[in-house]
């Protein structure tokens, strides 16, 4: 069959965007926001300014360079990014690691560095949202709305257990995930409380491990029983497959099924006896046939009669006379 490599190249070119999209900027989310920063996080200049935290929800490293941060998307439909802050490229810190966090300062001082934006949401006339836009400027990756009261509040706002589910369980109570936060966690997970692990919960419910033992033994013996049944079925199939193959071949040759069944050798029956008789005869001849027994002694003696001169090369070779 002739292979057309053009189709393979076309399919490969289609798969490349899919593989890139699996670890693209679309996995980034705004995770936490604080506007009224009085005595919380300080920037590299020692100032308390509003800040926003970006969370990489994927399990791959994602670079946020050339994306946009803004609180004014009025020019989005027209593709006008003049009021947006474009994150410069070339800084290694813009690469957000797996499930990592990155903080930007919303102080309207972009000349202070890569992580300082050109807008300040603390202004009461500004919009009540922060938008993260893709590097192409055509897709809003995340639209993070916040209540106006956050401008005067002394807490941050975001996801209690990081971006994900709409509702999460905290202290045994199901609550809304996106809400005011009890902890300030810029650049870290939003719920730093160490909860009990699954093993600790199981230990509390089954102190002596009786239930766990019963469950584990049940799983093991059930798996062994399933394996036993599968092996029995495979053994029967191994006996039936040659018969089915023989029937199929005889059917193609026009031989009736009754004649074919007589010709099929049943693998469960013993040999016809001819092979066993031949083996027995060979063993009998090996052990009962007469053999000459040697002394197994090697002697080297000088012959009494020397070799004939005819066998001595120095006598029978012709001597060539020397030239003078």
pLDDT at 265 (0 to 100): 52
Among residues of the chain, what percentage have pLDDT more than 90? 50
pLDDT higher than threshold 50 for residue 273: yes
More confident residue, 288 or 26: 26
pLDDT of 58-69, one tens digit each? 999 999 999 999
pLDDT at 200 (0 to 100): 75
Query: What angle (nearest 5°) sits at the alpha carbon of residue 155, between those of residues 153 and 161?
Result: 140
| DSSP letter (8 states) at residue 292 | P
Average pLDDT over residues 57-81: 93
Least-confidence region, from 3-12, 185-194, 241-250:
3-12
**Strands across the sheet with 28-34, in order?**
101-105, 51-56, 28-34, 157-159, 178-180
pLDDT of 292-324, one tens digit each? 666 667 666 665 655 566 666 665 666 666 665
Q: How far apart are CA 170 and CA 269, in angstroms?
A: 70
Q: How far apart are CA 48 and CA 41, in angstroms?
A: 6
pLDDT at 14 (0 to 100): 58
pLDDT at 317 (0 to 100): 62
pLDDT at 230 (0 to 100): 92
Which residues fall within 8 angstroms of residue 48, CB to CB, at 6 or more apart? 37, 38, 39, 40, 41, 42
Q: Is residue 87 exposed (0-12), middle (13-18) or buried (19+ Cβ within 10 Å)?
A: buried
Average pLDDT over residues 121-128: 91
Q: How far apart are CA 63 and CA 56, in angstroms?
A: 9
Count of Cβ atoms closer than 10 Å to residue 40 Cβ: 16
Contact 156, 42 (CB under 8 A): no
| DSSP letter (8 states) at residue 150 | G
Which residues fall within 8 angstroms of residue 240, CB to CB, at 6 or more apart? none
| DSSP letter (8 states) at residue 48 | B
More confident residue, 260 or 227: 227
pLDDT higher than threshold 60 for residue 4: no
Contact 72, 126 (CB under 8 A): yes
| DSSP letter (8 states) at residue 177 | S
Q: Confidence band (pLDDT; 50, 70, 90) for 25?
A: very high
Average pLDDT over residues 240-266: 69
Per DSSP (E only), the strands in the chain are: 28-34, 51-56, 62-63, 68-70, 85-86, 95-96, 101-105, 129-133, 140-145, 157-159, 167-170, 173-176, 178-180
Average pLDDT over residues 268-286: 76
Least-confidence region, from 10-19, 108-117, 134-143:
10-19
pLDDT at 310 (0 to 100): 60
User: Which residues are 29's β-sheet partners?
Assistant: 55
| DSSP letter (8 states) at residue 118 | S
Q: How far apart are CA 205 and CA 198, in angstroms?
A: 11
Contact 53, 103 (CB under 8 A): yes
pLDDT at 2 (0 to 100): 47
Q: How far apart are CA 231 and CA 238, in angstroms?
A: 10
pLDDT higher than threshold 90 for residue 181: yes
| DSSP letter (8 states) at residue 206 | -
pLDDT at 307 (0 to 100): 59
pLDDT at 102 (0 to 100): 97
pLDDT at 21 (0 to 100): 42
Among residues of the chain, what percentage have pLDDT more than 70? 76
Query: Per the structure block, which two tokens stand in for 70?
Result: 């803004």
Q: Look-up: residue for tokens 């001849």?
A: 285
Q: How far apart are CA 322 and CA 324, in angstroms?
A: 6
pLDDT higher than threshold 70 for residue 183: yes
Least-confidence region, from 12-26, 59-73, 235-249:
12-26
Query: Per the structure block, which two tokens stand in for 33?
Result: 């926001």
């Amino acid at each position: 069959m002739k292979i057309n490599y053009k189709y393979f190249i076309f399919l490969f070119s289609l798969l490349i965007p899919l593989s890139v999209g699996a670890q693209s900027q679309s996995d980034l989310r705004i995770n936490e926001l604080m506007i009224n920063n009085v005595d919380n996080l300080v920037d590299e200049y020692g100032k308390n300014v509003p800040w926003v935290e970006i969370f990489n929800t994927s399990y791959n490293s994602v670079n946020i360079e050339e994306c946009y941060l803004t609180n004014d998307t009025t020019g989005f439909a027209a593709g006008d990014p003049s009021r947006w802050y474009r994150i410069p490229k070339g800084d290694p810190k813009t690469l957000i690691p797996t499930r990592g966090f990155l903080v930007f300062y919303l102080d309207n001082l972009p000349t202070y560095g890569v992580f300082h934006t050109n807008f300040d949401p603390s202004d009461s006339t500004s919009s009540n949202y922060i938008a993260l836009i893709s590097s192409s400027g055509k897709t809003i990756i995340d639209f993070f709305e916040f209540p106006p009261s956050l401008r005067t509040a002394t807490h941050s706002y975001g996801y209690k257990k990081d971006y994900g589910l709409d509702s999460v369980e905290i202290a045994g109570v199901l609550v809304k995930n996106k809400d005011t936060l009890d902890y300030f966690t810029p650049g870290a997970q939003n719920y730093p409380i160490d909860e009990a692990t699954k093993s600790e919960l199981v230990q509390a419910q089954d102190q002596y491990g009786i239930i766990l033992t019963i469950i584990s033994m049940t799983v093991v013996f059930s798996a062994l029983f399933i394996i036993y049944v599968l092996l029995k079925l495979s053994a029967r199939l191994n006996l039936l497959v040659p018969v089915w193959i023989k029937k199929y071949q005889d059917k193609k040759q026009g031989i009736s099924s009754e004649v074919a069944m007589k010709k099929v050798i049943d693998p469960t029956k013993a040999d016809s006896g001819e092979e066993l008789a031949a083996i027995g005869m060979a063993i009998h001849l090996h052990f009962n046939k007469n053999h000459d027994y040697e002394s197994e002694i090697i002697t080297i003696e000088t012959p009494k009669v020397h070799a004939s001169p005819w066998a001595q090369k120095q006598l029978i070779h012709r001597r060539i006379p020397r030239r003078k």
